[in-house]
Amino acid sequence: MLLPLPSDNKAFFLQIAEGDKTAYKAVFDIYKAPFYSAAFKMTRSAYLAEEIVQEVFILLWTKRTRVASAEKPAAYLLTILYNRIYGHFKKIAAEKNLKQLLLQNSNGPEEQSPEAILQAKENQQLLKEVVGQLPPQQQLVYKLSKQEGMSRIEIACHMHISPNSVRNHLQDAVKSIRHYFNDKKAISSILFFILPGLF
């Protein structure tokens, strides 16, 4: 069960909305453990539970005025937590479907012809060129995610934007790249490089 906030919890969140980091830390200290416990029970992953909790508190800070304006800010925060957990399961389902699609429509490495290998290398070079033509924000998010292997939370902190903005920039970047390769009739061989871990 979640621990209650002080009796003036509305004022507590209003202080956070005004940028009060002490109030923010107090809420974090109260809710971190129970939120982590709830996330861990549903995901069965310590790493994912920690990441989800981080996302919740990043969103609390970036959307602090919206949270404070809610009738019950603590309940609103809990809703954010469960939305992040459900989003995780939705992402897993999408990744599973994509992997099955790739397995059904591509040969294994041992069956690839020299021509297929050459085409893959050419596509990688084209991908590099296309990424270089993306808008600066999309390009940076794409590179940090796909080339540096940073998580959405890490990118959000690095760029000082919300995790949702990171997701939107990454989705827009992938749409632009996919559109380009659709035109080039090369989407089937490039999907593996641009889509894993997006959804």
Given a cut of 50, the residues of the chain with pLDDT beneath it are: 1-8, 107-110, 186-192, 194-199
Is CATH 1.10.1740.10 what the domain over 9-87 is classified as, yes or no? yes
Residue type at position 83: N
CB atoms within 10 A of CB 134: 18
Q: How far apart are CA 123 and CA 84, in angstroms?
A: 34
Q: How far apart are CA 182 and CA 189, in angstroms?
A: 11
Instruction: Find, among 48, 60, 139, the residue nearest to 91 by Cα.
Output: 48
Boundaries of every domain in the chain:
9-87, 109-194
Please name the residue ranges forming H helices in 46-196.
46-62, 64-69, 73-105, 114-131, 136-142, 152-159, 163-183, 187-194
Q: How far apart are CA 153 and CA 150, in angstroms?
A: 8
- Return the pLDDT at 112: 52
- For 7, 99, 108, the CA distances from 113, given in Å and listed in that order, are 69, 21, 10
Among 2.40.30.270, 1.10.645.10, 1.10.10.10, 1.10.340.30, what is the CATH number of 109-194? 1.10.10.10
- Return the pLDDT at 105: 53
Residue with tokens 């040969």: 107
Over residues 78-107, the pLDDT tens digits come to: 888 888 888 877 777 666 665 565 555 554
CB atoms within 10 A of CB 1: 5
- Return the pLDDT at 182: 66
- Return the pLDDT at 191: 46
Instruction: Find, among 144, 17, 154, 160, the residue nearest to 76 by Cα.
Output: 17
